[in-house]
Amino acid sequence: MKAGITQQSIVAVFLTLLMALIADCAHAKPITFNGTASYSKEEDESGTSSFNQNTTLNFDQTLTPVLGLDESVRYSTSYEEDRDTESIAPTVNLQLNNDIFYLDLSGTSQQMRNSESSNLDNKNWQSRWRSNWQKDYVPVIQFGYGQSQTIDDEDPARIDSKNNNSDMMVDWDLLVGKIYYTINKNISDDYAANSTNTATNQYLRLTSDKSLWQDRVNISFQGQYSSNKQNFSADLGSSGTVLGPRVTITDMRGVVDFDDAKMPEWEKDMASPLPQVTSLRRYNLAVKLDAPQQVNVLYLYTDKDLSADAALFRWDVYQSSDGKKWTAQTPSPLPIYNRTMQRFELEIPEQHARYIMLEERQIQLLEDFNITNVQAVPIITGTAGQKVESESETTHYTADTGISWKITEAWMTGYSLTLEDGETALGDDIDRTANSAYLSWVPVDFFSSRMSASESRSQEVADDPEEKGRSYAVSCASQLLPTLDMDLGVTRSENYEDDALIDSGYNYNAYFTALLFPDLTSTLDLVYFTSREEETDLFSQDYSQTLRFIARLTPGLTTELAGIYSTSRGETDSWSKGANLTVSWRASDILAMSVSGTQTWESDDSTPFLYNMTISLAPTYKTQLSLGYSHQEETDSYNANYTWILNDIFSLQFYANYVDRKESDSETGRVSRFFNDDRNDSRLAFGGQLNVRY
């Protein structure tokens, strides 16, 4: 490895820029300084300690009423035992804004030094022009162009790439509708791999929405067209292989709790998408390809360097054509960690399915980390010295039409039709149809009802069976009493393949809200679900209920009690129940406190009692202290944060975290890298931050 930028040279450049910017401060120009430093040490057998600091200096200038200039310098260092890293990144941004157009020019040069891997030099600049005129029936236009380059200090270079990106956008509001069009072209040259990839993306949207007969009839239309074209060429090296262009994907990473609002739409449509992810199985991963195509390698980028622990990771690979039925793929990949790119590189069995899943089998690592990005790429093979070229194109058309009719003040009906067509990168046709209709009745203000029916058809590959889904729903809502609201609903769903019924089910739900006393509110949520598989005649039932009480005992004291119970009957029977109590007390503007406890029991196990407490104290309007404590089984966590606003320019922030955990081999999921039968593990981390703002 060639000698990279030294710490002394980085500090010299940083101090030079700092002095230049501070000199301009004499002219009363705005400057912002932000510095953060932290130190942590694990009180275990390793005694590992680490230190991190980040410093950012922002300097904003208004040169004229229409011209602005922003400059910044980011400098960071980290030290861990025998490894240290260093980075400096100056940035300049120029904006010109007038009544005709807005112009933005920016550039960044970043140098990174790593004592145990390659040093990197990143440079990029971007330009963007956008019209500012506001005239009826005159389109808004935007153009953009930029370049970026990354190179390491190896000889020959292992990382040496350059990207050129250009784009255009038109947004046109006409009398009868709106037109939106965008095109983007990206040329990526990988000089280390002797490959070039050109990607061109286009998107067109036409929308129209009109009301007739004094707004009693509404007609809407939306048409969309999108295309992705890839041109790839490469000279194969001595190995006879080269990595192809990145595949466009949507990924979902495992989290502690699945939240429907955070899930991609395709995840909600799956019948059995993923095993339920718990707090000890955070690193499950699902990938959906925009179109079925070849995938050989998955890159998992992490927020921490895990090269020393790569051997502690194992994932199992599954694939699915529909996101419902998963097939295991063997052998399981052996993770390789690229320290320079800070990512896992998993070479998996060649896949052509639309869905790929990685299920965590073993992660023997105590320290938490996050997967920040996921990429999928194919491997192209041939003979050494051969020049390979490939071209692929994906097109997609969608047309949505809807009509609603307000028959009377009480009756309303509507219908919608969606047609999809296109072609995947593999040449398979996309053919989907969906239509739905509804009828609603609102005779009085305190009662409403609705009936709906929908059907969807899809067939992506000519030889595959046509998939069809139908659903029928009835719902009503009523205010039975001034203090009691009720919502009821039932839905029947059916799934077919080539007109043969595969499975069917019913979903019954009821939701009640009651004001028992002026300061006591209660809610009851009931859900009952049944399903039957026609081929196996398997019948399953799921039931859940949630009862919640919220009471305001005093103006500053609030309590909430929730009880949950659920059962599942099918191939296997299971049940679970739990309770949660939360007490919040706001004594004044100075003192606030919150305490909560949660306990869950299951048919085959029970989770430990979880206790949390937080205290917030603001003795003055310039200072604030927050303390926190949590306990679960044999783990105690403490944290403290203190903020002090010295004046309009300076502010300080300090924090400290301490975790005391006793761990044993009986735990499942992630286990410690230490394999003693019983041990204590404690971690302490603390740091501070200084903010300077002019």
pLDDT one-digit tens code per residue, 602-618? 887 767 788 999 999 99
**pLDDT at residue 96 in the model:** 96
Q: Which amino acid is at 652?
A: L
Checking if the pLDDT of 310 tops 60, the result is: yes
The mean pLDDT value for 57-65 works out to 86
User: Which tens digits make up the pLDDT trace of 327-383?
Assistant: 888 888 888 888 878 888 999 988 888 788 887 776 655 566 778 888 888 888 878
**pLDDT at residue 262 in the model:** 37
Asked if residue 256 and residue 188 are part of one domain, the reply reads: no
- Last residue of a domain, which of 145, 177, 192? 192
The mean pLDDT value for 105-130 works out to 92
Q: Which amino acid is at 344?
A: F
Asked if residue 302 and residue 371 are part of one domain, the reply reads: yes
What is the C-alpha radius of gyration for the chain, rounded to an integer number of angstroms?
30
Nearest to 412 by CA among 451, 444, 368, 378: 451
| Domain assignment present for 350 | yes
Spatial distance between the Cα atoms of 674 and 87, rounded to a whole number of angstroms: 33
| Domain assignment present for 398 | no
Question: Could you tell me the strand order of the sheet in which 355-363 lies?
Answer: 249-253, 285-289, 355-363, 313-320, 327-329
Checking if the pLDDT of 504 tops 90, the result is: yes
Spatial distance between the Cα atoms of 682 and 694, rounded to a whole number of angstroms: 41
**pLDDT at residue 280 in the model:** 41
**pLDDT at residue 421 in the model:** 92
The mean pLDDT value for 216-223 works out to 96
Residue 160 CA, chain-centre distance (Å), reads 29
**pLDDT at residue 359 in the model:** 79
- Which of the four pLDDT bands, split at 50, 70 and 90, describes residue 502? very high
Asked if residue 262 and residue 117 are part of one domain, the reply reads: no
Checking if the pLDDT of 271 tops 60, the result is: no
Burial of 389 (0-12, 13-18, 19+ CB in 10 A): exposed
**pLDDT at residue 327 in the model:** 84
Checking if the pLDDT of 411 tops 60, the result is: yes
**pLDDT at residue 258 in the model:** 33
Kindly state the DSSP code that residue 466 receives in the 8-state scheme. Answer: P
The mean pLDDT value for 555-579 works out to 92
Burial of 406 (0-12, 13-18, 19+ CB in 10 A): middle
Checking if the pLDDT of 10 tops 60, the result is: no
The mean pLDDT value for 143-149 works out to 97
| Domain assignment present for 599 | no
**pLDDT at residue 667 in the model:** 36
Query: Which range has highest mean pLDDT (76-85, 356-365, 513-522)?
Result: 513-522
Spatial distance between the Cα atoms of 142 and 670, rounded to a whole number of angstroms: 49
**Over 77-124, what HEC string results?**
EEEECCEEEEEEEEEEEEEEECCCEEEEEEEEEEEEEECCCCCEEEEE
**pLDDT at residue 5 in the model:** 43
| Domain assignment present for 318 | yes
What CATH number did the domain enclosing 123 receive?
2.40.170.20
Asked if residue 268 and residue 343 are part of one domain, the reply reads: yes
| Domain assignment present for 572 | no
The end-to-end CA distance of the chain, in Å, is 43
Asked if residue 316 and residue 185 are part of one domain, the reply reads: no
The total number of structural domains in the chain stands at 2
336-358: buried (b, 16+ CB within 10 Å) or exposed (e) per residue? ebbbbbbbbbbebeebebbbbbb
The string of DSSP codes covering 112-181 is: EEETTS--EEEEEEEEEEEE----TT--EEEEEEEEEEEEES-SS-S-EEEEEEEEEEEEEE-SS-EEEE
Question: Minimum mean pLDDT among 103-117, 261-275, 357-371, 408-422: which range?
Answer: 261-275
Checking if the pLDDT of 40 tops 80, the result is: no
Reading phi first (left if > 0) and then psi (alpha if -120 to 50, else beta), residue 553 is in alpha
- Last residue of a domain, which of 342, 359, 377? 377
| Domain assignment present for 133 | yes
Range of the domain at 320: 252-377
| Domain assignment present for 454 | no
Name beta bridge partners: 455: 435, 470
Residue bearing the bigger pLDDT, 58 or 264: 58
**pLDDT at residue 318 in the model:** 86
Cβ count within 10 A of residue 118? 20
Query: Which range has highest mean pLDDT (28-32, 113-117, 468-472, 569-573)?
Result: 468-472
Asked if residue 354 and residue 259 are part of one domain, the reply reads: yes
Question: Minimum mean pLDDT among 104-108, 295-299, 396-400, 680-684: which range?
Answer: 680-684
| Domain assignment present for 159 | yes
- Last residue of a domain, which of 192, 211, 228? 192
Query: Which range has highest mean pLDDT (3-7, 11-15, 295-299)?
Result: 295-299
**pLDDT at residue 222 in the model:** 97
Spatial distance between the Cα atoms of 637 and 212, rounded to a whole number of angstroms: 62
The mean pLDDT value for 640-652 works out to 88
Cβ count within 10 A of residue 605? 9
CA atoms within 13 A on the CB side of 310: 17
**pLDDT at residue 483 in the model:** 94
Burial of 578 (0-12, 13-18, 19+ CB in 10 A): middle
Q: Which residues contact residue 565 at a Cβ distance below 8 angstroms, ignoring those fewer than 6 apart?
A: 544, 545, 575, 576, 577
Q: Which amino acid is at 72?
A: S
**Over 261-277, what HEC string results?**
HHCCHHHHHCCCCCCCC
Checking if the pLDDT of 674 tops 50, the result is: no
Angle at 262 between CA 257 and CA 268, to 5 degrees: 90
- Please state, rounded to an integer, the average pLDDT across all residues of the chain: 83
Asked if residue 184 and residue 52 are part of one domain, the reply reads: yes
The string of DSSP codes covering 492-507 is: EEEEEETTEEEEEEEE
High-pLDDT (> 70) share of the chain, %: 84
**pLDDT at residue 25 in the model:** 46
Asked if residue 264 and residue 176 are part of one domain, the reply reads: no
Checking if the pLDDT of 522 tops 70, the result is: yes
Residue bearing the bigger pLDDT, 649 or 585: 585
**pLDDT at residue 365 in the model:** 57
CA atoms within 13 A on the CB side of 358: 32
Asked if residue 108 and residue 27 are part of one domain, the reply reads: yes
- Which of the four pLDDT bands, split at 50, 70 and 90, describes residue 681? low
Asked if residue 267 and residue 173 are part of one domain, the reply reads: no
Checking if the pLDDT of 17 tops 70, the result is: no
Query: Which range has highest mean pLDDT (49-58, 411-420, 459-468)?
Result: 411-420
What CATH number did the domain enclosing 274 receive?
2.60.120
Q: What are phi and psi of 584, to 5 degrees?
A: -120, 130
Asked if residue 142 and residue 55 are part of one domain, the reply reads: yes
Asked if residue 159 and residue 17 are part of one domain, the reply reads: yes
Checking if the pLDDT of 270 tops 50, the result is: no
